[in-house]
């Protein structure tokens, strides 16, 4: 008796009664108490082989009694988010604390699952009342297509009736018949009469209705993408995609009556990581279509003709599946499968392309099969593929905009324990140019950071904003990866630039304001400048100014120089430049910085003959600045402008701001710097291109003083040093000169005192000043002055 209670989990009422009546040794008593404390838990162990397919569930006597069960009465087991309907039987050894149950009649998600290492609470078992059924309607899942054809209706009904005989069923449960060697695999119970949400027993008198017959393969595929796939920020695309699918799948007759053939193919175009494949999966799930995925590269075989054969096989499979119901054949990375035929002189590839084209033409227009393909290089596709009748529709998914990013972030973080200080709006603003995959990586990294930091101590894992900041440093947007223009630079703030207050203000006005406060610009009907040209003598902080501007306006910053651009191949430079522009547009709002623009571009006005690379680059730049329009494939977001103008009253203030920012910040701002503005082509300088010219003058006395102060901030100065005096004496010195002066003076101090100097004295400065010459000349300044006055 004592041992019995010690080694088994006991039910409350039983053990309590023994507690009051019996006397126990102390150890036993403790055992019972702990058994009560830990709720009655049963360990799930595998079923005995002879019990497979018997719908039995074996319990220990205590559990059996406590649930008030009878031999063979129905009981519902809830595990792993699904339920299984069983009949209650006793274990042969009468041991408590264990549970074995058969998955004969289960909900869909438990089909063919293995329940290993599970603990089940007694509360997860529920005795079910039952009624004897008059009628049951089922969907029959049959193993092969051949069997489906050979079985006649009456034979099938007889078989199904036999399979269901004496089985307890439940609405929306699936009865598995796989243990018997019959052509039927599963029976999906869809209707019971009399209607009951509890169990129903199929007896000899129950009539069976067969609603439809499905082939196992198709059923599996529909089950496969059963779990909900959340897609953020792509609602509008998803809706239009669903429309394309729904029409032929569900209203084929309407289309027939209109004399239309159904669309057969959809091509999804977009940069990598925006969620093309995910979208297809989720849409297929929503329209209940079966998805057959095929990866382009997996088709290729080593033997000649093997690739074509594989292709035909897959299409055949898709065709068979589509006989059962709506089916989508998804070809991922179709560009690898179907490159342009003309350019590649590769015969086997051409044959594959031709085979694909023929197969696509061969699809009947009964509308149960639709082909979807995804690519990020639409230009590499064979043009023959992109005509109506093959890929009728092309859907462009761009890099997510601000709103979409917020949406995606909300979706990802909805399942994470996020601290209240996390500002998703701010994060969305920070993550310019990030695609869905990047954002997922970002959140994962943040979670990793949190896990790493909290594992030593506290229990509560809450992801804080600091973790997101950390991961922002690590995760770069993938569309800027491998880009030419991407630069890493030391962050510069406005305060680190001495003087030039006027210029700073101008720059803020033209770069920072439109990025940060677009609604004000929008209200005043202003458009922001398209491009800015900074010019001035060398060494006067033009580049540093741009860095500071990029820092303060939270946007992507791309920078290219002549070295990136020029290449020995004809046409390469132009290609690189337009690629940089494309990337900048993809991650807009962004700043594209062209340093030393005079070296990149030539001028067409001077009378040199011939078409030099520089001239061609110039014409590309002019085109990119205000060409006719964007390429179709670069489209981003959707027309939310309408929404902004009409129903903005009801929108939340924040949303409204988001909308404004989204609409206004679509463009790329070009910032160029040069010290030879006279070399530039006139066409470049007209309004609408580089329409804002800012002269960065050499520093005046006040500015020089503040520059000196900044330069000597980290240097210990002797008390006799008078920076004001130095500022006065350094006329015609540029910022770079001044920095150099400070450096030299400090070096001199070290040199004189054999590395023991503790401070730089004024005499050092004076001595250095004697040896250095200003890099600016009056001549130069006059030249710039003249240029300035020439401008209206």
Partner 1 sequence: KMSEKQAVLLVQQALRKCFQVISQQEAVWQSTLSECSPLLHSLGNLGEQLQSCNTVALKKTPLKDFLDLEQCLKHKLIMAMECVLEKLSGKMAFLQKVRDTITNQVATVFQLYEQHTGALELSTITERSAVTPSLANMMEWLQDIERFYRRRYLKRKLLLQAIRDDDLSYIQALPESWNRVLEEKKQDLVQDILLKVSFFMETP
Binding site for partner 1 (CB under 8 A): 50, 54, 61, 64-65, 70-72, 89-90, 92, 94, 150, 155, 159, 162, 165-166, 180-183
Nearer to partner 1, 89 or 784 (CB): 89
Smaller CB distance to partner 1: residue 59 or 710?
Answer: 59
What SS3 string covers 737-768? Answer: HHHHHHHHHHHHHHHHCCCCCCCECHHHHHHH
Rounded least distance, CB 134 to partner 1, Å: 18
Find tokens 């995910």 and name the residue: 278
Least separation in angstroms between residue 119's CB and partner 1 is 24
- Of 150 and 224, CB closest to partner 1: 150
Is the CB of 146 or the CB of 743 nearer to partner 1?
146
Distance (Å, rounded) from C-alpha 196 to C-alpha 193?
A: 7
Closest CA relative to residue 617, chosen from 658, 674, 579: 579
Ordered alpha helix ranges (H), 215-294: 216-224, 235-250, 252-257, 276-286
Nearer to partner 1, 61 or 348 (CB): 61
72 versus 305: smaller Cβ distance to partner 1: 72
Q: Nearest-5° angle of CA 131, CA 135, CA 141? A: 110
Distance CA 518, CA 536 (A): 29
- How far apart are CB 53 and partner 1 at their closest, in Å? 8
Q: How far apart are CA 632 and CA 612, in angstroms?
A: 30
The Cβ-side half-sphere exposure at 710, using a 13 Å CA radius, reads 18
User: What does the buried/exposed string (b/e) look like for 694-719 if buried means 16 or more CB atoms within 10 Å of the residue's CB?
Assistant: bbbbbbeeebbbbbbebbbeeeebee
Task: Return the number of the residue (204 or 609) whose C-beta is nearest partner 1.
Answer: 204
Closest approach, Cβ 122 to partner 1, in A, equals 16
Distance of closest approach, residue 93 Cβ to partner 1, in angstroms: 11
- Least Å from the CB of residue 70 to partner 1: 5
**What whole-number distance in Å separates Cα of residue 347 and Cα of residue 351?**
6
CB of 83 to partner 1, least distance (A): 23
Which is closer to partner 1, CB of 89 or CB of 98?
A: 89
**Which C-beta is closer to partner 1: that of 146 or that of 575?**
146
Smallest gap from residue 112 Cβ to partner 1 (A): 21
Greatest extent of the chain over all pairs of C-alpha atoms, in Å: 116
Closest CB to partner 1 among residues 39, 162: 162
Residue number with CB closer to partner 1 (177 or 299): 177
* Helices 572-586 & 613-626 angle (0-180, nearest 10): 20
Q: What are phi and psi of 587, to 5 degrees?
A: -110, 25
By beta-carbon proximity to partner 1, the closer residue of 92 and 302 is 92
Q: How far apart are CA 163 and CA 157, in angstroms?
A: 10
How many CB atoms sit inside 10 A of residue 88's CB?
A: 23
Q: How far is the CB of 97 from partner 1 (least distance, A)?
A: 16
> Smallest distance from the beta carbon of 54 to partner 1, in angstroms?
7
The rounded distance, in Å, linking the Cα atoms of 188 and 199 is 14
From the list 734, 735, 744, the residue with the least C-alpha distance to 771 is 744
Closest by alpha carbon to 449, among 477, 472, 425, 430?
Answer: 472
Q: How far is the CB of 475 from partner 1 (least distance, A)?
A: 58
Q: Which residues contact 350 (CB under 8 A, 6 or more apart)?
A: 341, 344
Please identify which residue in the block is written with the tokens 């930091």.
Answer: 453
Collapsed DSSP state (helix, strand, coil) of residue 487: coil
Q: Going by DSSP bridges, is the β-strand pair 692-695/207-215 parallel, antiparallel, or unpaired?
A: unpaired
Beta carbon of residue 94, minimum distance to partner 1 (angstroms, whole number): 6
CA–CA dist 706, 504 (Å, integer): 14
Q: Cβ 162 to partner 1, closest distance in Å? A: 6
**Is the distance from CB of 533 to CB of 685 less than 8 angstroms?**
yes
Neighbours of 647 (CB within 10 A): 9
**What are the start-end ranges of the E strands in 310-360?**
327-332
Q: Which is nearer to partner 1, 9 or 341 (CB)?
A: 9
Q: For the chain, how are helix, strand and coil distributed in percent, rounded to 5?
A: 45, 15, 35
Structure tokens at 468: 């997101």
Residue 151 beta carbon to partner 1: minimum distance, rounded to whole angstroms: 9
> Residue 289 CB, nearest distance to partner 1 (Å)?
33
Is-contact 101 45, C-beta < 8 A? no
- Between 152 and 563, CB nearer to partner 1: 152
- Provide the CB-side half-sphere exposure for 130 (13 A, CA): 27
Shortest Cβ 194–partner 1 spacing (Å):
20
Give SS3 for 593.
strand
Which residue, 255, 96, 273, 106, is CA-closest to 178? 106
Distance, in Å, from the CA atom of 427 to the CA atom of 282, rounded to the nearest integer, reads 26
Residue nearer to partner 1 on the CB measure, 165 or 608: 165
Nearer CB in complex with partner 1: 51/655: 51
Angle (nearest 5°) at CA 516 between 513 and 517: 70
Q: How far is the CB of 90 from partner 1 (least distance, A)?
A: 5
Nearer to partner 1, 147 or 643 (CB): 147
513 touches 524 (CB < 8 A): no
| Pair 170, 138: CB distance under 8 Å | no
């Amino acid at each position: 008796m004592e041992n019995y209670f010690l080694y088994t989990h006991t039910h409350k009422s039983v053990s309590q009664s023994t507690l009051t009546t019996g006397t126990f040794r102390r150890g036993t008593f403790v055992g019972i108490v702990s058994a009560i404390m830990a709720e009655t838990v049963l360990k799930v162990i595998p079923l005995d082989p002879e019990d497979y397919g018997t719908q039995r569930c074996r319990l220990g006597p205590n559990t059996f009694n406590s649930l008030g069960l009878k031999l063979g009465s129905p009981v519902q087991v809830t595990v792993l988010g699904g339920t299984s309907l069983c009949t209650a039987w006793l274990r042969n050894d009468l041991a408590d604390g264990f549970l074995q149950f058969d998955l004969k009649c289960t909900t869909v998600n438990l089909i063919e699952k293995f329940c290993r290492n599970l603990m089940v609470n007694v509360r997860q078992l529920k005795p079910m009342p039952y009624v004897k059924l008059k009628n049951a309607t089922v969907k029959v899942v049959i193993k092969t297509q051949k069997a489906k054809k050979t079985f006649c209706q009456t034979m099938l009904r007889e078989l199904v009736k036999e399979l269901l005989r004496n089985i307890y069923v439940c609405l929306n449960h699936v009865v598995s018949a796989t243990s018997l060697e019959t052509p039927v695999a599963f029976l999906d119970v869809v209707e019971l009469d009399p209607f009951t949400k509890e169990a129903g027993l199929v007896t000899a008198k129950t009539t069976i209705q067969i609603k439809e017959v499905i082939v196992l393969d198709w059923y599996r595929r529909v089950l496969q993408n059963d779990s909900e796939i959340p897609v953020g920020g792509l609602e509008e695309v998803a809706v239009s995609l669903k429309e394309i699918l729904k029409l032929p799948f569900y209203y084929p007759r309407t289309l027939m009556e209109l004399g239309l053939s159904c669309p057969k193919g959809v091509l999804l175009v977009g940069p990598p990581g925006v969620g093309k494949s995910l979208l297809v999966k989720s849409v297929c799930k929503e329209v209940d279509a079966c998805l057959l995925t095929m990866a382009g590269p997996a088709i290729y075989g080593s033997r000649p003709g093997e690739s074509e054969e594989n292709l035909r096989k897959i299409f055949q499979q898709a065709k068979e599946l589509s006989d059962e119901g709506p089916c989508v054949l998804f070809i991922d990375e179709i560009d690898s499968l179907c490159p342009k035929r003309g350019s590649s002189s590769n015969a086997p590839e051409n044959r594959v392309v031709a085979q694909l084209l023929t197969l696509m033409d061969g699809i009947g227009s009964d509308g149960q099969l639709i082909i979807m393909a995804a690519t990020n290089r639409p230009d590499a596709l064979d043009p023959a593929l992109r005509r109506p009748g093959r890929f009728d529709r092309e859907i462009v998914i761009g890099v997510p905009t601000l709103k979409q990013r917020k949406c995606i972030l909300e979706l990802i973080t909805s399942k994470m324990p996020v601290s209240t200080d996390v500002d998703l709006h701010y994060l969305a603003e920070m993550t310019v140019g990030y695609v869905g995959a990047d954002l997922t990586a970002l959140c994962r990294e943040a979670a990793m950071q949190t896990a790493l930091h909290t594992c030593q101590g506290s229990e509560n894992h809450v992801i804080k904003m600091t973790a997101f900041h950390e991961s922002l440093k690590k995760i770069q947007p993938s569309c800027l990866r491998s880009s030419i223009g991407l630069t890493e630079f030391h962050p510069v703030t406005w305060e680190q630039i001495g003087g030039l207050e006027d210029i700073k203000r101008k720059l803020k006005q033209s770069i920072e304001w439109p990025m940060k406060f677009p609604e004000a610009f929008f209200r005043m009907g202003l458009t922001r400048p398209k491009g800015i040209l900074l010019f001035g003598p060398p060494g006067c902080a033009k580049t540093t100014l741009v860095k500071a501007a990029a820092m303060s306006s939270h946007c992507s910053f791309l920078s290219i120089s002549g070295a990136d651009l020029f290449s020995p191949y004809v046409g390469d430079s132009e290609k690189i430049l337009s690629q940089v522009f494309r990337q900048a547009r993809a991650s807009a709002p962004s700043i594209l910085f062209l340093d030393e623009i005079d070296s990149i571009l030539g001028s067409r006005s001077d009378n040199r003959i011939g078409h030099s690379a520089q001239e061609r680059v110039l014409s590309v730049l002019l085109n990119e600045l205000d060409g006719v329009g964007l390429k179709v494939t670069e489209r981003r977001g959707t027309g939310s402008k309408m929404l902004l103008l009409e129903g903005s009253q009801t929108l939340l203030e924040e949303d409204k701001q988001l909308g404004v920012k989204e609409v206004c910040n679509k463009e790329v701002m070009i910032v160029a710097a040069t010290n030879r503005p006279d070399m530039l082509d006139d066409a470049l300088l007209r309004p609408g291109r580089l329409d804002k010219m800012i002269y960065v003058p050499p520093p005046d006395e006040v500015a020089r003083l503040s520059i000196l102060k900044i330069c000597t901030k980290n240097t210990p100065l002797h008390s006799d040093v008078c920076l004001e005096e130095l500022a006065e004496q350094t006329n015609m010195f540029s910022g770079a000169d001044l920095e150099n002066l400070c450096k030299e003076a400090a070096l001199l101090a070290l040199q004189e005192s054999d590395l023991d100097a503790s401070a730089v004295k004024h005499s050092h400065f004076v001595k250095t000043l004697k040896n250095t010459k200003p890099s600016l000349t009056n001549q130069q300044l006059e030249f710039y002055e003249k240029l300035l006055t020439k401008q209206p």
